Amino acid sequence: MDTCSHVAPAMSNATLAPLYSQHLDTLQQRAAEALRRGGFEHLLIPSGTLHYQVFDDRDYPYAVNPQFKAWLPLTQAPGSWLIITPGQRPKLIFLQPHDYWHVVPAMPTGYWVEHFDIEVIRSADDAQRLLPPAFRCAILGEPQSALGGYVPNNPEPVIQYLEYHRGYKTAYEVEMMRQANRIGARAHRAAERAFRAGSSEFGIHLTYCQAAGQDANDLPYGNIIALNEHGAVLHYTHRDRLPPKPVRSFLIDAGASFGGYASDITRTYSTHDDEFAAMIRAVDTAQLALCDKVRAGTDYARIHLDAHLLLSGVLKEFGVLKVSPEEALERGVSSAFFPHGIGHGIGLQVHDVAGFAAGDAGGTVAKPDGHPYLRLTRTLAPGMAVTIEPGIYFIDMLLDELKQKGLADTVDWDRVEAFKPFGGIRIEDDVVCTEAAPLNLTREAFAE
C-alpha cells in the first residue's frame, strides 16, 4: 500500500528515497541508544488495533501508533508489527487478513520497502511466532495491542530518549511536512473561496475536505471553521448548516496529513476591507516577526512572552488597551485577549511529544508563571519544527474576569464591543528551525 496517496507530481519517490534512507539510519542509531539505556535487545512496535465503542459493535476510526509511523509511512495497517534489532535490517510483520467484509490492505510498495524484511500474516495471532522473546523487548504501544505474552511495557528510559529526539526532524520528515502543508494550503484557498461565496460553516468544511482529498479519518485534527462570533471559541467544531446574517468574519484552523505527518494552519478573513481586516493585517505582521524568532538557541517560552507584547501593541494601536504592552503582560491583561500558547511542536502528531522535556533522560522545563497553556518550553535547535500561532479574541468569560480582578480601567470597553461581533483572529504557520534563517513551510506552500 502506497500510503502517500496525496503525492503531488513534484513529490516523487526519487525525491524521497535518498532522504528516507538517511532518516532510517538516524532512527536506527536512536533505537540502539534507547535500547542500551533500557537494557533491552529488541524494539517491538505494534501498529495498533481497532477500538470498539462501549455497548456497541461499531469501531472508532483507526489511528496508527505514532511510534510505528515514525519508521515508515504506513498509516492503515492495523494488527501489524515492527521489529527493530540493532545491527539488523528492520522487519515488518504485515497483517493482510483473509476478509470479504472490508478492504484488505494491499502489499506495501514505494521507496521505503527495500529497507525492510516483510513477512505477511493472515491473522493477528500469527505475529507471535515471528517475534523475539518478549522479556528481551521494549514494546511500545497501547494496552489493546497486547498479543499473548507480548504486552506493551513502554519502558520510560526508551520512551524518553526516543520522544526527546523526535523533536529534531530529519530532512525526510521536513519534506513530508512540506507536502502536508502544500495540501493544507491548497484546501485553505478553496475554503476562503467558499467563504467569499457565502457558504455556511458546514459547507466550507466540505469544500476544505474535497480540496484536500481528506475526510475526518484522514485529517490530523478536526477542522475549526468559525464564522463571526464563533471565532472566539478556541476549539469551535460545531459547524452551523446555515450562514449567519450578516457574515462578518471567518477563522479557519485546519491541517492535512501526508504519510503520517501533519500540517497545522490557521487563517482569518474579514468580509470587507474594514477595521477588523486592518487588525488582521497587524496580527499577520506580528506573526511573521515571531516566526523569524524560530532560531537556534532561542527559548521558545521567550517567543511566547514576546507574542504577548506584540499583540498588546496591536490592541493598543486599535484603541482596545489603555495601558502599555509591558503593563498588559505584567498585570495579566494580555492573557484575556491571548489565552493560549504561542504554539507547539509538530510532526507525527499535531501536538508533538516531549515539549517540556529537559533532556533525553527525563525531567521537565517549567512553563512561565501565569501561562499554563504553553505546550513547549524547550530551547530551539536545528531540526525542531514548531507552530507559531498568535491570536486576539474577544471572549466574554475572560473579559468578565478582567473586570472581576479590578482591571476594567485597562480596557476601552466601547472598542471591545465594536470588535466582539467578529469573534477573533488567529494566524498559524509551521516553522522549522535551521542553522540559519527559519524555514516557514506554510508561507512557502501558500506562495506556490
- Is 346 inside a domain boundary? yes
On whether the CB atoms of residues 62 and 76 are closer than 8 A, the answer is yes
- Is 8 inside a domain boundary? no
Do residues 97 and 178 both lie within one domain? no
- Is 2 inside a domain boundary? no
Do residues 60 and 198 both lie within one domain? no
Do residues 378 and 305 both lie within one domain? yes
- Is 176 inside a domain boundary? yes
Do residues 258 and 117 both lie within one domain? no
Q: What sections of 298-395 are H helices per DSSP?
A: 300-317, 325-330, 334-337
Query: 261's torsion region: left (phi>0), alpha (psi -120 to 50) or beta?
Result: beta
User: Which residue among 131, 165, 199 closes a domain?
Assistant: 165
Q: Rounded distance, CA 115 to CA 88, Å? A: 11
Q: What is the pLDDT along the chain (448 residues), one digit of tens a residue?
A: 344 444 343 456 889 999 999 999 999 999 999 999 999 999 999 999 999 999 999 999 999 999 999 999 999 999 999 999 999 999 999 999 999 888 898 999 999 999 999 999 999 999 999 999 999 999 999 999 999 999 999 999 999 999 999 999 999 999 999 999 999 999 999 999 999 999 999 999 999 999 999 999 999 999 999 999 999 999 999 999 999 999 999 999 999 999 999 999 999 999 999 999 999 999 999 999 999 999 999 999 999 999 999 999 999 999 999 999 999 999 999 999 999 999 999 999 999 999 999 999 999 999 999 999 999 999 999 999 999 999 999 999 999 999 999 999 999 999 999 999 999 999 999 999 999 999 999 999 999 9
- Is 111 inside a domain boundary? yes
| Domain CATH code at residue 275 | 3.90.230.10
Q: Which pTM does this prediction carry?
A: 0.96
User: Which residue among 165, 188, 206 closes a domain?
Assistant: 165
Angle (CA) 5 385 310, round 5°: 125
Do residues 100 and 214 both lie within one domain? no
Check residue 2 and give its pLDDT.
41
Do residues 104 and 121 both lie within one domain? yes
User: Which residue among 144, 165, 186 closes a domain?
Assistant: 165
Do residues 213 and 85 both lie within one domain? no
Do residues 303 and 337 both lie within one domain? yes
Q: Rounded distance, CA 157 to CA 32, Å? A: 12
On whether the CB atoms of residues 131 and 143 are closer than 8 A, the answer is no
Q: 120: which 3 cell numbers?
A: 505477511
How many CA atoms, within 13 angstroms, populate the side-chain half-sphere of residue 136?
9
Do residues 333 and 442 both lie within one domain? yes
Q: Rounded distance, CA 326 to CA 317, Å? A: 14
Do residues 133 and 233 both lie within one domain? no
On whether the CB atoms of residues 76 and 48 are closer than 8 A, the answer is no
- Is 47 inside a domain boundary? yes
Residue range of the domain that includes 427: 171-447
- Is 6 inside a domain boundary? no
- Is 403 inside a domain boundary? yes
| Domain CATH code at residue 154 | 3.40.350.10
Report the domain count for the chain. 2
Do residues 420 and 277 both lie within one domain? yes
Do residues 136 and 154 both lie within one domain? yes
Q: Rounded distance, CA 346 to CA 263, Å? A: 8
